[in-house]
Amino acid sequence: MIFVKKKYFESLANCAFISFLIIYNIKMWSLLNLKSFRIFSVGQRMWRRTIKTKSLVYHRFGVPDEVVEMIEEELPDPGDKQLLIKIALAPINPYDLYNILGKFHTGPKKFPYTGGSEFVGEVVKTGIEYTPFVQGDVVIPLTMGSGAWTTYKLVDESDVLKVPNEVGLQEAATTAITACTAYRLLRDFVTLSEGDSVILSGANSAVGQMILQLCKLWNINSIGVIRDRDNVANLKKDLKRLGATEILTEKEIGRTDLFETYPMLKPKIALDCIGGTIGSMIAKRLVKDGFMISYGEMSNEPIYAESNQFVMQENVFMGFSIIKWLDENFKLDKHVHMLDELMIELSRKDLIAPRMEMVPFDFYKVVPDALKFVNMANRKFVFDMREETLDETVQLVDSN
Residue 63 pLDDT > 50, yes or no?
yes
Check whether 208 has a pLDDT greater than 90.
yes
Both 294 and 263 in one domain: the answer is: yes
Range of the domain at 282: 189-319
Residue 12 pLDDT > 90: no
The band of 266, judged by pLDDT with boundaries at 50, 70 and 90, is: very high
Q: With bands split at pLDDT 50, 70 and 90, how would you rate the model's confidence at 1?
A: very low
Whether 56 and 70 have beta carbons less than 8 Å apart is answered as: yes
| Run of H or E residues at 214 | helix 206-217
Shared-domain flag, residues 314 and 204? yes
Asked, for residue 40, whether it belongs to a domain, the answer is no
Beta-carbon contacts of residue 278 (< 8 Å; ≥ 6 apart): 201, 225, 227, 250, 253, 272, 299
Same domain, 163 and 87: yes
Mean local confidence (pLDDT), 12-18: 51
* 115 and 207 belong to one structural domain: no
This prediction has a pTM of: 0.82
pLDDT of residue 111: 87
Total of domains in the chain: 2
Mean pLDDT of 259-279: 93
**Taking residues 61-68, what's their average pLDDT?**
90
Nearest to 270 by CA among 291, 245, 249, 254: 291
396 has pLDDT over 90: no
Per-residue b or e along 86-117, where b marks 16 or more CB atoms closer than 10 Å to that residue's CB: bbbbbbbbbbbbbbbeeeeeeeeeeeebbbbb
pLDDT for the residue 391: 43
- CA separation for the pair 84, 58 (Å, rounded): 23
CATH number of the domain to which 311 belongs: 3.40.50.720
* Lowest-confidence segment of 6-20, 34-48, 170-184, 220-234 by average pLDDT: 34-48
